[in-house]
């Protein structure tokens, strides 16, 4: 796990931390209305949209968890939402926030927040599925307590890469490596989903720590959803996107001028922040698991500049 901010001795590291903290403080506070953007899909009343659509809460008790999904489907986009995770003894619980298509060959981009005993850090579990294949996990601790306040968790999904952000700080990049035969999520539209559920058979210390139901109901809160994205329409036989891209059949004059995320690559600052997070807070990387992949690492892991922390 990472050393604390105060333990940093080099001036370059100190400057980077100051820059990261400034970025965190500048994390966007934006609108969005859960009544307009999402449907509650399960939970028998455990999911609640409050404050005229400004707040959504999911709850979990021994009988059931709860969940919601976006009204829209998307093919590429930048998605932000603010979460305050289950506080106290959250062992056994998982809050999932992800994009997914349907079917056995589905694509999926995951944030999963694995609860833990009081005082122990949450684990942020990330994964990317393409054409039904996952097993691309990276896990992180956070540099703050995610139960004390809302923090922004984001996906950037464009034709060249997928980036996971926490408070505008990149923690993971999954590049498009179709050139070496690795499928990339770029053909199947996906919805946004979120759920709070019991996974005490694996979530906390491999299932050793079980959910303490005397702490129920467990609650995760959401606010300030923002999508700057290509909305998918299935009104035609083949479907179409609101954006101009190689995978869409319709165009939007505003897209080419306003949606800079579509061609966004990493600049030097983003690369530096990514390296800082992965050096200090990454606790598992499938690209470094030689025991698991004893017959050879997945091909995307062997590309130049792939992370092997």
Domains of the chain by range and CATH?
A: 34-237+262-298 (2.60.120.200)
pLDDT, tens digit only, all 309 positions of the chain: 433 333 333 444 444 444 444 444 333 344 579 999 999 999 999 999 999 999 999 999 999 999 999 999 999 999 999 999 999 999 999 999 999 999 989 999 999 999 999 889 999 999 999 999 999 999 999 999 999 999 999 999 999 999 999 999 999 999 999 999 999 999 999 999 999 999 999 999 888 899 999 999 999 999 999 999 999 887 665 667 777 544 433 333 334 446 789 988 999 999 999 999 999 999 999 999 999 999 999 999 987 544 444
Joined together, the tokens standing for residue 236 give 């035609």
pLDDT of residue 251: 36
Strands (E), the chain: 38-42, 48-50, 55-60, 66-70, 73-84, 93-100, 108-114, 123-129, 138-140, 151-157, 161-166, 169-175, 191-198, 218-233, 240-241, 282-285
Determine the 3-state secondary structure of 304 from DSSP.
Answer: coil
pLDDT of residue 243: 78
Catalytic residue numbers, as ranges:
108, 112
pLDDT tens across 290-307, in order?
999 999 999 999 875 444
Beta-bridge partners for 166: 153, 169
Q: What is the pTM of this model?
A: 0.85
- Cβ 94 vs Cβ 102: under 8 Å: no
Cα–Cα distance for residue pair 168/165, rounded to 1 Å:
5
Cα–Cα distance for residue pair 186/107, rounded to 1 Å:
9
pLDDT of residue 146: 97
Cα–Cα distance for residue pair 282/2, rounded to 1 Å:
8
pLDDT of residue 238: 67
pLDDT tens across 87-134, in order?
999 999 999 999 999 998 999 999 999 999 988 999 999 999 999 999
pLDDT of residue 20: 45
| C-alpha dihedral (31, 37, 42, 46), degrees to nearest 10 | 30
Please name which of 160, 159, 110 lies closest in space to residue 134, comparing C-alpha atoms. Answer: 110
Cα–Cα distance for residue pair 197/184, rounded to 1 Å:
28
């Amino acid at each position: 796990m990472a050393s604390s901010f105060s333990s940093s001795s080099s001036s370059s590291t100190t400057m980077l931390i100051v820059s990261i903290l400034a970025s965190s403080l500048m994390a966007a506070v934006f609108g969005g209305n859960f009544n307009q953007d999402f449907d509650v899909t399960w939970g028998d009343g455990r999911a609640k949209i409050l404050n005229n659509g400004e707040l959504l809460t999911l709850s979990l008790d021994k009988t059931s968890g709860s969940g919601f999904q976006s009204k829209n489907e998307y093919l590429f986009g930048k998605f932000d939402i603010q979460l305050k995770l289950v506080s106290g003894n959250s062992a056994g619980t998982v809050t999932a926030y992800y994009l997914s298509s349907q079917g056995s060959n589905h694509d999926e981009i995951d944030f999963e927040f694995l609860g833990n005993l009081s005082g122990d850090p949450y684990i942020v579990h990330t994964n990317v599925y393409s054409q039904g294949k996952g097993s691309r996990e990276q896990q992180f601790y956070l540099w703050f307590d995610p139960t004390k306040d809302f923090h922004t968790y984001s996906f950037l999904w464009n034709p060249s890469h997928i980036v996971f952000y926490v408070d505008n700080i990149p923690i993971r990049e999954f590049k498009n490596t179709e050139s070496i035969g690795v499928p990339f999520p770029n053909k199947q539209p996906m919805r946004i989903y979120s759920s709070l559920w019991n996974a005490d058979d694996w979530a906390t210390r491999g299932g050793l720590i079980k959910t303490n139901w005397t702490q129920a109901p467990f609650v995760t809160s959401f606010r300030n959803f923002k999508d700057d994205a290509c909305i998918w329409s299935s009104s035609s036989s083949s479907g179409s996107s609101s954006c101009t891209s190689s995978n869409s059949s319709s165009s939007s004059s505003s897209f080419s001028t306003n949606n800079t995320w579509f061609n966004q690559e990493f600049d030097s600052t983003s690369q530096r922040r990514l390296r800082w997070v992965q050096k200090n807070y990454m606790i598992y990387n499938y690209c470094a698991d030689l025991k698991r992949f004893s017959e050879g690492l997945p091909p995307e892991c062997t590309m130049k500049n792939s992370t092997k922390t």
